[in-house]
Chains A and B, each alone.
Chain A
Amino acid sequence: MRNMVTLIQRILRGNPTLFFVYVILFVFFVFAASTAPQFRTVYNISNLLRQAVAFGIVGIGQTIVILSGGIDLSVGSLISLAACLTSGIMIGNPTLVFPIVFLVLGIGVLVGLTNGTLVAYLRVPPFIATLAMSAILQGSVLLYTKKPVGGVTRGFMFFANGQLGAIPFAFVFWVILLSFFLFLLRRTGLGLHVYAIGGNQEIARLSGIRVSVAKVAVYVISGFMAALTGLFLASRLGIGDPLMGQGFELESITAVLIGGTSLAGGKGGIEGTIAGVLIIALINNILNLLGVSGFWQWIIKGIVVIVVVAAYKVKE
């Protein structure tokens, strides 16, 4: 018990923001569990986790971009594009699964490379570069298809819908991704350099960090994660929809902000985004269970973002 207390004290002192956001998550969870009996079913919880994974994957990429002082608004359209290409080419053919996965992830990397090059070498502000990229991608996917297209194989659907015993496979996959990127940010040179660049680009440059290379890497990661999210959504629903990814860019930024990462960069991390993603998934889930209109969900998410970010600022 005393160990617990000192541990909590240490976390509080080391990172009060992180502690705060997990307290909020806990409060939401208790609220959900006590108000809606349907919430406590295994089915609902795995459903919630699956929902969280979609935001969770793209949220990892977004966190890293924001930590570097940038922003990626192109993830939403990239997700739609990835999902439509997946189902539209696969059309239930099992032999095409692996080539398509590589193709789609490759496109994600390519989009990231382009974003990164625009931002790092041509000095286009990230907001503008990725906004423009978003328009280009959304246009492309709508030229490709205007309605849900194709279909995926039964085996491919395991990715999003499969179970490992009581635990959704997708959740396990997310946890593995999370540990990988937590490690990347905390223990590798690239991770430290992302924080340094977000903190102060000039200092990073004068410290001999290859700022442009790191920036490109960051957008490549984000593009890759968005493409992965597209694959995930195609697998989850069995079909790609050209407007599937709409709102993911803002939703992922919301999760990052709730998680305590500073939009100015250099401060925060994936630890917080995990909580941010779960909080958003919880809000969606509980309001669905209570039969509250989807529009209310927007209003409540907006309020949560304002309250949380204001609380961070007051703390500072």
Chain B
Amino acid sequence: MKQEEALRMVNISKYFPGVKALDRVTFTVNQGEVHALVGENGAGKSTLMKILAGALQPDEGEIYLEGEKVFIPTPQSAWERGISIIYQELNLLPDLNVVQNIFLGREHRGRLRVLSYSTMIREAESLLARVGVGIAPQTMVRNLSVAQQQQVEIAKALSLNAKILVMDEPTASLSETEVEKLFGIIRDLKSKGVTIVYISHRLEEVFRIADRVTVLKDGKCIGTYSIGELDRDKLVKLMVGRSFSETFPEKAKETGPMVVEVRNLSVPRILKNVNFSVRAGEIVGFFGLVGSGRTDLAKALFGFYPHYSGEIVVKGKTVKLHSPQRAIAEGVGFAPEDRKSEGLCLGLSVKDNCVMAVLDEMRSTFFLNRRRETGLVQKFVADLRIKTPHFYQRVQNLSGGNQQKVVLAKWLATRPDFLIFDEPTRGIDVGAKQEIYHLMRQLASQGKAILMISSELPEVIGMSDRIYVMHDGAIVREFGWGERVDEERIMYFAAGLHVER
């Protein structure tokens, strides 16, 4: 079967101050295929797609749609040509309702250019039905879950009669079931002739959904392959030039004394009777679907829920973790899920973020002691291999992996015994992931107790010495030392299948 060409971007270059984001990239997509675009963070995927969507202008290069040369100066002109993009950070306005969001910027007008909501509501209903979801069109977007918001975005793209639909990391904050549903929608769109460009860090997904793959690296196109020519190792190698087998470091050989023991921890409507323990030297993995309470558990251990009941024992002593300050004093560190809003002050420097949690120690009488600060930062930048031009670089200018290392430095400065990592590798490229994995294992072998929450099953299985599975605010299964685990068995419990039988 000869496939028609839907899109060809030729020799696209884009310069940002000091960076060459894209260097003569050529990218071709066939009609009606699911085409994955992969590469490390900063490889230029999002920039390329923003150019396609008219949000950025290329400095060089040409774009052809169905063989015809086009210019895409604005987002509107992209829609008019049937190109639609769903950005990684969802682009909906929380204080407008679903209908207003779907038709924003191209509202239906009636007489005298007055908005005709009745037509828009009717059309929105049929669009949402096509996506296969039952969301009331007049719901405020604020009240929708992330998955539902994404479905609204897809409905919006359909309303544009999209011929080419670009999805930038669509599964980043979806649970496994929601991902399944999304894949169903993608297959359905594909069968209706929509061409899909799929950007993802999660390579398993690429293998499941994509027909062809284009790899970008450092702003250059490495090549386009049909999915049959590739396997995981090969693809990772193309992306980073490393072999995949070295992904996870060796597990712990022995563990030390008990560091944290939690007995009957409950928070009304959030956590139910949670019991678990973490020893020095081990990494304990927590897996659960969205809404299972895994992040709430971490927050409870960090003093976010002062009204918990039950007992938390740290190093043999029962403690009351009623505030983050208490938790830090008891030797708990917490690298949160959303590092940009909860882990770091993006506008502050590497140095400021590193000393943030230990300002008292940096102080001599009233003033911060710069030498002490610099000494501390110097040590962590070297130990954790944080790539930054200088200590005064704003953390917003660092890559995701280096930002995560700064979060880690901030907590290591407090000399914790117990570290909680919530999604430690979210949005981090493959190379940096491995570094984070090795750092975590290194910390464990230095005698720290580590609790890791992750929604990526391979990561949970690859990193954890023991695994707890959560469902509906409770721990439903523990996989102990050396016990046989596989993705299906964990998912079985996480999805609550053991009770519904």
Chain A: residues with CB nearer than 8 A to chain B? 187-189, 192-193, 195-196, 199-200, 203-209, 266-267
Instruction: Provide the residues of chain B in CB contact with A196, threshold 8 Å.
Output: 93, 96, 100, 104-105
The complex places the Cα of A187 from the Cα of B107 at a distance, in Å, of 11
Instruction: Provide the residues of chain A in CB contact with B177, threshold 8 Å.
Output: none
The complex places the Cα of A267 from the Cα of B142 at a distance, in Å, of 12
User: Closest Cβ of chain A: how far from B61's Cβ, in Å?
Assistant: 21
Please tell me the size bucket of the interface on B. Answer: 20 to 34
B55 touches A195 (CB 8 A): no
B56-94 CB mask vs A (1 if < 8 Å, else 0) is 000000000000000000111001000000010001111
A187 touches B93 (CB 8 A): no
User: Closest Cβ of chain A: how far from B157's Cβ, in Å?
Assistant: 12
The complex places the Cα of A200 from the Cα of B101 at a distance, in Å, of 12
A208 touches B115 (CB 8 A): no
A207 touches B96 (CB 8 A): no
* Minimal Cβ-Cβ distance residue in B for A202: B91
The complex places the Cα of A199 from the Cα of B140 at a distance, in Å, of 13
A188 touches B93 (CB 8 A): no
- Identify which of A192, A199, A206 contacts B55 (C-beta below 8 A): A206
B104-137 CB mask vs A (1 if < 8 Å, else 0) is 1111010001110100000000000000000000
User: Closest Cβ of chain A: how far from B123's Cβ, in Å?
Assistant: 16
The complex places the Cα of A192 from the Cα of B104 at a distance, in Å, of 8
- Identify which of A187, A205, A208 contacts B79 (C-beta below 8 A): A208
Residue B95 interfacial (CB < 8 Å)? yes
* Minimal Cβ-Cβ distance residue in A for B85: A206
* 28 pairs from A and B in contact (CB 8 Å cutoff): A187-B114, A187-B117, A189-B113, A192-B96, A192-B100, A192-B104, A192-B107, A192-B115, A193-B105, A195-B96, A196-B93, A196-B100, A196-B104, A196-B105, A199-B94, A199-B95, A200-B93, A203-B93, A203-B104, A204-B105, A205-B75, A206-B53, A206-B55, A207-B75, A207-B91, A207-B104, A208-B79, A208-B106
Given the interface pairs A208-B105, A208-B106, the reply to whether A188 lies near B113 with Cβ below 8 Å is yes
User: Closest Cβ of chain A: how far from B16's Cβ, in Å?
Assistant: 17
The complex places the Cα of A204 from the Cα of B105 at a distance, in Å, of 8
Given the interface pairs A207-B105, A208-B74, the reply to whether A195 lies near B93 with Cβ below 8 Å is yes
Instruction: Provide the residues of chain B in CB contact with A205, threshold 8 Å.
Output: 75
B76 touches A208 (CB 8 A): yes
Given the interface pairs A189-B107, A208-B76, A209-B104, the reply to whether A203 lies near B114 with Cβ below 8 Å is no
B115 touches A209 (CB 8 A): no
Chain B: residues with CB nearer than 8 A to chain A? 53, 55, 74-76, 79, 87, 91-96, 100, 104-107, 109, 113-115, 117
Instruction: Provide the residues of chain B in CB contact with A209, threshold 8 Å.
Output: 104-105
Instruction: Provide the residues of chain A in CB contact with B117, threshold 8 Å.
Output: 187
The complex places the Cα of A205 from the Cα of B55 at a distance, in Å, of 9
- Identify which of A187, A192, A195, A203 contacts B92 (C-beta below 8 A): A203
User: Closest Cβ of chain A: how far from B168's Cβ, in Å?
Assistant: 13
* Minimal Cβ-Cβ distance residue in A for B53: A206
Instruction: Provide the residues of chain B in CB contact with A187, threshold 8 Å.
Output: 114-115, 117
The complex places the Cα of A290 from the Cα of B114 at a distance, in Å, of 47
A266 touches B93 (CB 8 A): yes
- Identify which of B95, B104, B107 contacts A266 (C-beta below 8 A): B95
The complex places the Cα of A160 from the Cα of B320 at a distance, in Å, of 66
The complex places the Cα of A207 from the Cα of B107 at a distance, in Å, of 11
B114 touches A188 (CB 8 A): yes
Instruction: Provide the residues of chain B in CB contact with A266, threshold 8 Å.
Output: 93, 95
Instruction: Provide the residues of chain A in CB contact with B76, threshold 8 Å.
Output: 208
User: Closest Cβ of chain B: how far from A182's Cβ, in Å?
Assistant: 13
A199 touches B96 (CB 8 A): yes
The complex places the Cα of A195 from the Cα of B104 at a distance, in Å, of 11
B55 touches A267 (CB 8 A): no
* Minimal Cβ-Cβ distance residue in A for B77: A208
A189 touches B91 (CB 8 A): no
Instruction: Provide the residues of chain B in CB contact with A192, threshold 8 Å.
Output: 96, 100, 104, 107, 115
* Minimal Cβ-Cβ distance residue in B for A267: B95
B93 touches A189 (CB 8 A): no
User: Closest Cβ of chain B: how far from A315's Cβ, in Å?
Assistant: 13
The complex places the Cα of A299 from the Cα of B113 at a distance, in Å, of 46
* Nearest 4 CB-CB pairings of A with B: A207-B105, A208-B105, A208-B76, A199-B93
Instruction: Provide the residues of chain B in CB contact with A200, threshold 8 Å.
Output: 93
* Minimal Cβ-Cβ distance residue in A for B94: A199
User: Closest Cβ of chain B: how far from A69's Cβ, in Å?
Assistant: 12
B115 touches A189 (CB 8 A): yes
Instruction: Provide the residues of chain B in CB contact with A203, threshold 8 Å.
Output: 91-93, 104
The complex places the Cα of A199 from the Cα of B117 at a distance, in Å, of 20
Instruction: Provide the residues of chain B in CB contact with A206, threshold 8 Å.
Output: 53, 55, 75, 87, 91
The complex places the Cα of A167 from the Cα of B135 at a distance, in Å, of 46
The complex places the Cα of A79 from the Cα of B197 at a distance, in Å, of 55
